[in-house]
Chains A and B, each alone.
Chain A
Amino acid sequence: MRNIRRVVRIVVILFMGLLLHYALPQRDIARVTSTEIIRTDFSSINRIFYAQADAGAEEQPTRDLRLINTVRKTTYLFGMMRGRDQVMVFRNEDTGWIWPPYFKFDSSDLQAEATDSVSSKDDPEWVAITHYGWRVRYLSIFPNAIAIKPIDGPDVRLIPWFNIFFFVFLIAAFLFLRAMWMQFRERTLDPLGDAANDRYDRVSADIGERRGRVRRWLDTWRSK
């Protein structure tokens, strides 16, 4: 029983971790090499890794997808360390009013910005690309670019303030929820349980008393 609970707990924590890793913003230091548009036919497997059609448009089974081709610095330890160069392709889709809550409606503008910052290997123009999501080649899925900001060079250190605040908030929310639950149990559930126990005790005492009375009445018929 304890093992089952442990496994369930590990699975839940793992799932939450993956969800957060997918949905929280990360920043890559990259050089945009080109932008392009490809037609995409989603499969039932990779559909959930794409957003919906542009905020004002109609959803169709097939549509065009904006891509941003880049060369980026490989990222380790949530952006604390950067390594060698590596190609990375970002998609550029509206998240709209739906999950994940980036409320992005400006894909076309972002595409224009990306095209504006295209640079060559000899004369690189480094940018920080904020994105969420994963690149999984087997499923043909791409991280979604949210914003492109010019930076001084490939060696700048970007501090993930949003994620720091987010985790502080998450821990605070967890502690608050626990305090709420403990207060609820102490002040509402336990008294209810006590009252139910009291009532049970009283009812069983009452039954015993009644049985005693019946027994006494029957005894009056017995010959002494």
Chain B
Amino acid sequence: MALVRLVVFGFLVLSVVYLSIAFYSRSVRREKLEEEWDANPPADASAEDRDAFIKTGLIEYHNGFRAKLIWLVYIIPTCLVAGIVYFTNY
């Protein structure tokens, strides 16, 4: 019963952490894309071109490896708990 409670609450807490980090990482990525565009905008570019550039960049980020790294938020604590259980009891 205590194990169930740990799993449920652990999952909830880690989900909050996951969502926060995902939001933060996306926000940083977006800021970088905006800066990249604004530093050297093409001569005859419109606001739509800028939005399209940022959107493509974000989709690229979303499908890339860095966004998937955030799953480590779930994996590392699980491994840590498993490690502590092993080293404390064996």
Which residues of A pack against B, CB within 8 Å? 55, 96-98, 101-106, 109, 146-147, 179-180, 183-184, 187-188
Contacts and interface: CB of A to CB of B under 8 A. Distances in A.
A103 B89 contact: yes
Q: Is the interface of B mostly helix, strand, loop or mixed?
A: helix
Contact of A183 (B6, B28, B85): B28
Contacts of B89: 103-106, 109
Contacts, number: 42
Contact of A147 (B21, B23, B85, B88): B88
A180 B20 contact: yes
B24 A102 contact: no
B6 A102 contact: no
A105 B85 CA distance: 9
A184 B19 CA distance: 13
B72 interface: no
B88 A183 contact: no
A103 B78 CA distance: 13
B88 A103 contact: yes
24 contacts: A96-B2, A97-B2, A97-B5, A98-B2, A98-B6, A101-B84, A102-B84, A102-B88, A103-B88, A103-B89, A105-B85, A105-B88, A147-B88, A180-B21, A180-B24, A183-B24, A183-B27, A183-B28, A183-B31, A184-B23, A184-B24, A184-B27, A187-B27, A187-B31
B69 interface: no
A97 B6 contact: yes
A104 B88 contact: yes
Interface size class of B (residues with CB under 8 A): 10 to 19
B24 A103 contact: no
A179 B27 CA distance: 12
Interface string B1-37: 0110110000000000000110110011011000000
Contacts of A187: 27, 30-31
A91 to B, nearest CB: 16
B81 interface: yes
A54 B27 CA distance: 47
B5 to A, nearest CB: 7
Contact of B27 (A97, A147, A188): A188
Contacts of A97: 2-3, 5-6
A85 to B, nearest CB: 28
A40 to B, nearest CB: 21
A96 B89 CA distance: 11
Interface centre among B23, B24, B31, B84 (most CB of A within 10 A): B24
A105 B81 CA distance: 13
